[in-house]
Amino acid sequence: MTTPNNTDSSSSEFPVPEVVIQRLPLYVRVLTQYSSAGEQVISSEQLGIRLQITPAQIRKDLSYFGRFGKQGRGYDVAMLERQLREILGLDRTWNAAVVGMGRLGRAVVSYPGFAPEGFNIRAAFDTSEYIVGKTISGLHVQSISLLTESVKELDIKIGIVTVPIDHAQEVIDAMVQAGIKSILNYAPLSPQVPEGVTIRGIDPVLSLQSMTYYIR
């Protein structure tokens, strides 16, 4: 090589594009499948076929974090999975709190997909006096006024918002106030959060509303 690049793995000094970060979990998912299928090695082409992404795209994404592959061979499945999990912070578990224990909140806390991936819902909150005090899916529903306290006590890093739209922004504000930096929002609004807080929306209606464009 003309350039003597001593690329430092995993502790990049310049910001990795958001789109890249969002693709990494897809890679992890496929690697996990490959791994449990007993495969030892995977090429960027095989990964790309599964995900409908060009091999070069995948190689470039990975190159932001280091050099993981072997030329002529591909990537060691177990090693790459481990590395990507570490990069994403998936080599540990995360505690979450749900606010809003109506229909949607109940569905979320009983969704069996979180725990196997290391996301554990440790606390549930609501404003309604009818719901506070109840036990739902093994969680004692507390008044939202106890949020900050619980966040500290239970080391909660993730907030999940399942309240109706007209209370969503204030709940989000309360989460931010309580020191939560990652929020998953199920309410159909465009929330405002300060710098340093990441928020992602889950909104099936929005998805449907953009799909109809193509079939109208």
Q: Which residues bind a second copy (CB under 8 A)?
A: 21-22, 24-26, 28-30, 50-52, 87-90, 94, 103-104, 107-108, 110-114, 117, 119, 157-158, 181-182, 184, 188-190, 192, 198, 200, 202, 204-216
Q: Which of 75, 119, 125, 186 binds DNA (CB under 7 A)?
A: 75
- Whether 135 and 73 have beta carbons less than 8 Å apart is answered as no
16 or 145: CB nearest a second copy: 16
18 contributes a contact to DNA by CB under 7 A: yes
Which one of 27, 28, 30, 74 is in contact with DNA (CB under 7 A)? 74
**Binding residue (CB under 7 A) for DNA from 26, 29, 39, 43:** 43
Q: How far apart are CA 96 and CA 114, in angstroms?
A: 10
Q: Which of 24, 30, 31, 62 binds DNA (CB under 7 A)?
A: 62
What percent of the chain is helix, strand and coil (3-state, nearest 5)?
45, 20, 40
Tell me the backbone φ, ψ of residue 40, rounded to 5 degrees: -100, -35
Query: Is residue 3 a contact residue for DNA (CB under 7 A)?
Result: yes
The two three-digit tokens of residue 6, written as one number: 């001593």
Q: Does 45 bind DNA (CB under 7 A)?
A: yes
CB 88 → a second copy: shortest distance, Å? Answer: 5
Number of residues that bind DNA (CB under 7 A): 30
In whole angstroms, what is the distance from residue 72 CA to residue 68 CA?
13
**Residue 95 contacts which entry, DNA, a second copy, none (Cβ below 5-8 A, type-dependent):** none
How far, in Å, CA of 201 to CA of 179, rounded?
A: 19
Give min distance, CB of 13 to DNA, in A: 14
Provide the 10 A C-beta neighbour count for residue 151.
21
Question: Beta strand pairing status for 139-143 and 119-126?
Answer: parallel
Alpha helices in 10-76 (DSSP H): 18-36, 44-51, 55-63
Among 11, 36, 37, 72, which residue interacts with DNA (rule: CB under 7 A)? 72
73, 92, 103, 216: which one contacts DNA (CB under 7 A)? 73
**SS3 for 192?**
coil
Question: Which of residues 9, 33, 67, 115 is near DNA by CB under 7 A?
Answer: 67
